[in-house]
Amino acid sequence: MDPAASLLEIRVYRAGPLASLGHNHVIAAHDLEGVVHVNAQLLASTCELSFASAALTVDEPQLRERAGPEFAAPVPQAARAGTRQNMLSEAVLAATQFPQVALHCLELVATPVKGQLRADLQASIRGARHVISLPLRYELTDKRLTVEGETALKQTALGITPFSVMLGALQVQDQLEIHIHLVALCGAPNSASSPCA
């Protein structure tokens, strides 16, 4: 995996009767680690990906700008710091006890569209395992593998209770948007598989 070229974004939306007092947030993981083994039979390929919860960032200005008008309003530093503290707390990611979030490919499934497939991933979060289906677009050359995809999923499906205050008057929506851009560079091939074709 090329961490300098790879990015995982989680877009979080405000909710509740007092939602106007809160902010939508862009959570990002830059330091992605892992490996993709591309098999001669593409759907038999495997992947492993992980990142440290403590390395997640909140509301980088350039990522908010790219995310669109719903993220146009600036977020004060105090609000960014508070959001990050809540995200890493025992109630959400429990980052002290479970410092890593890991993804493992269970199955790759063909789609009718060339250059696209579906990845069924096992996500290890807070010490529990959950299955996520992620539609992906890919480009494979002898130099690198580039993968992009996005999906919506609920925090409660991952064993996470959405953050709320004031008896739910201000809260985080259960549904998140996941956007992923991965670049894997070629490694030394062997007889069974290699990181590139």
* Mean pLDDT estimate for the chain: 90
Mean pLDDT (whole number) for 150-160: 93
* pLDDT above 50: residue 180: yes
What HEC string does the chain produce? CCCCCCEEEEEECEECCCHHHCCCEEEEECCCEEEEEEECCHHHCEEEEEEEHHHCEECCHHHHHHHCHHHCCCCCHHHHHHHHHHHHCCCCCCCCCCCEEEEEEEEEEECCCCCEEEEEEEEEECCEEEEEEEEEEEEECCCEEEEEEEEEEEHHHHCCCCCEEHHHCEEECCEEEEEEEEEEECCCCCCCEECCC
* pLDDT above 90: residue 25: yes
Q: Report the pLDDT value the prediction gives residue 133, as an integer from 0 to 100.
A: 95
Measured between alpha carbons, how far is residue 192 from residues 37, 38, 44, 187, 189 in Å?
9, 9, 11, 13, 8
Q: Which of 11, 107, 89, 10 is nearest to 51 (CA)?
A: 10
- Of 120 and 171, more confident: 120
Decide if 15 contacts 29 (C-beta within 8 A).
no
- Of 18 and 24, more confident: 24
Instruction: Categorize the per-residue pLDDT at 168 as very low, low, confident or very high, splitting at 50, 70 and 90.
Output: confident
Q: Which of 153, 117, 161, 162 is nearest to 135 (CA)?
A: 117
Q: Report the pLDDT value the prediction gives residue 111, as an integer from 0 to 100.
A: 92
Right CATH number for 7-194 from 2.40.128.110, 2.40.30.10, 1.10.10.10, 2.80.10.50? Answer: 2.40.128.110
Write out pLDDT tens, residues 84-118.
999 999 989 999 999 999 999 999 999 999 889 99
Distance (Å, whole) CA 77 – CA 82:
9
Q: Report the pLDDT value the prediction gives residue 13, as an integer from 0 to 100.
A: 95
* pLDDT above 70: residue 197: no
Lowest mean pLDDT, pick from 7-11, 165-169, 170-174:
165-169
Mean pLDDT (whole number) for 134-160: 92
* pLDDT above 70: residue 81: yes
Mean pLDDT (whole number) for 150-157: 94
**With pLDDT > 70 as the criterion, what percentage of the chain qualifies?**
95
* pLDDT above 70: residue 189: no
Instruction: Categorize the per-residue pLDDT at 193 as very low, low, confident or very high, splitting at 50, 70 and 90.
Output: very low
pTM listed for this prediction: 0.88
